[in-house]
Chains A and B, each alone.
Chain A
């Protein structure tokens, strides 16, 4: 019950938080130089035509009027229209956001498995070979650009070995995409019962997931290692050793007590990767939301950008609420 009340309390703040985020991003996007009317009409447009289009788009209105109009449309479920795709932004994002989410989610699962595994082992035995490996790994994962690593993987596994499919989208060209239910290609193909499409979806996921997963395992590994080490060296960890508790049990308790900080870094990575995976999306022609937003920024197409910010903000808020719930479950000292 305490948790239910806490959730209500948190949800009450979601709308004002979102409004604030929309206001700030609206202001920032509007301050980018560039006139969409000029870009839309092309170099041969007459000044009259440009002025007409500006009036039509409401660009001649004061800033606050434009903002109120935008929020009013938002409340009616209208995120505006992208002049590049000429489609409603909401439709575009419903198609593209799950693509990014699927990529990022699977990458993060890989990163958690690799990062927490190596982190715990190296914390238990910092002088062992795993400890040395993690030092090198942490350093290189932090130093390697993800798009470069993606290109290396493509070169090795597609160009040389022909094990992976061409880095062009989420499915082979000859495979027909299943009807969108969740937007996760792996789940939708399974729901459609199309095993050929499922295999195609998985094979297209492997290289981008390896790229993002292995790069982002670095911070998770570092955080796991340092916080488990800290727990082992803490009074409580030392006391368990004094009591003759076996090492694997001491380690399990240390990992459990280190979980809050590990969960924090995972949640930060999750929110960050929604936009931060864009270079990898471009390399693999993923058609994700990050790519969509970057195109929008480059072409003064503001509604896709604002829509993307709104989607990521909602997603991040959900993740952070989940993280707070995990804290409550993991640490009995936290009670709201």
Chain B
């Protein structure tokens, strides 16, 4: 793997939209209806862009809306969520305006997803080889034999041990790591232009996790696929991503090139995230995270104000706009940390 600082690609303008984007979300909003009738906003207007071949990391804690974002990009927010506004532009077309049929032709074909907990997501009664081959039959129109051959090649490419035998194995007969490799095979068999990895390695132990990450990076590079790499572990993004965006409570609070984010994080939340993963106890303790406030923040306040160690009166009265600190480094904070 690359070192943290060594191999960063030149950073692009972080969040701003240009025509060269492969995928771009514009003000994407998702709400969940609740029993009280008042909808809960889970995504509060997400602006992200990914260029062809680029790996964008998305970091956030549990409940920040990571999975909702991943699935909303594919047009299927987790039930009972509903896309309340915004656009998802992929290869120049607004995905959210496509018919279900047109969307189906994109999913799995041009836009693929690697899911966490694959043993629960794979169909328990269909053999692994057939599940991978189905993708090639459905999306590439291959016949049964050709699709199975291609599935077998994919199983070899994801370095699953004993691929002949795994072709005829059922999901419950695979280990977590093997199932994760099978899901990567499903995601990549159709050569997608864009891959979303939704916390794909969260259930695996650390060594397997490293193998899977290496594999994903190698294969997406070979296929020239761009990637949205979603994780809870900010440390992984240091090894893996060209740019990193930080998601907090349904809002992007900071986005920057990898080096800029790790060397000069500007948002207090980003700092705390990095501190939480730091090996330096002084840093961890000095920036200890306050407990989440019970009362929801007012709509015109900074969403992070109640947990922010630097919060000032203005933070509770006025929502900070997204501001560009340096080219490609944007942050949503009244008092960005200067380094």
Contact = CB atoms under 8 A, between A and B. Distances in A.
Question: For this complex, into which size category does the number of interface residues on chain B fall?
Answer: 20 to 34
A194 interface: no
A242 B172 contact: no
A333 interface: yes
A247 B100 CA distance: 10
If over half of A's interface residues share one DSSP class (helix, strand or loop), that class is named, otherwise mixed; here it is helix
Contacts of A240: 123
Contacts of B112: 243
A321 interface: no
Contacts, number: 66
Interface string B129-166: 00000110011000000000000000000000000000
A245 B124 contact: no
B262 interface: no
A109 interface: no
A241 B76 contact: yes
B74 A242 contact: yes
B293 to A, nearest CB: 33
B108 A245 contact: yes
A58 interface: no
Contact of A330 (B71, B125, B172): B125
Contact of A239 (B79, B115, B172): B115
B125 A238 contact: no
A257 B76 contact: no
B327 interface: no
Contacts of B134: 245, 249
A48 to B, nearest CB: 71
A332 B124 contact: yes
Interface string A225-249: 0000000010110111111111101
Nearest to A254: B123
B108 A238 contact: no
A253 B126 contact: yes
Given A240-B123, A332-B125, A246 B104 contact: yes
A244 B115 contact: no
A256 interface: yes
B115 A242 contact: yes
A198 to B, nearest CB: 40
A35 interface: no
Residue among A233, A238, A256 having the largest count of chain B Cβ atoms under 10 Å: A238
Interface of B: 71, 74, 76, 79, 104-109, 112-113, 115, 117, 120-126, 134-135, 138-139, 170, 172, 186
Interface of A: 233, 235-236, 238-247, 249, 253, 256-257, 330-333
5 closest Cβ pairs, A-B complex? A244-B107, A244-B108, A243-B108, A239-B121, A332-B170
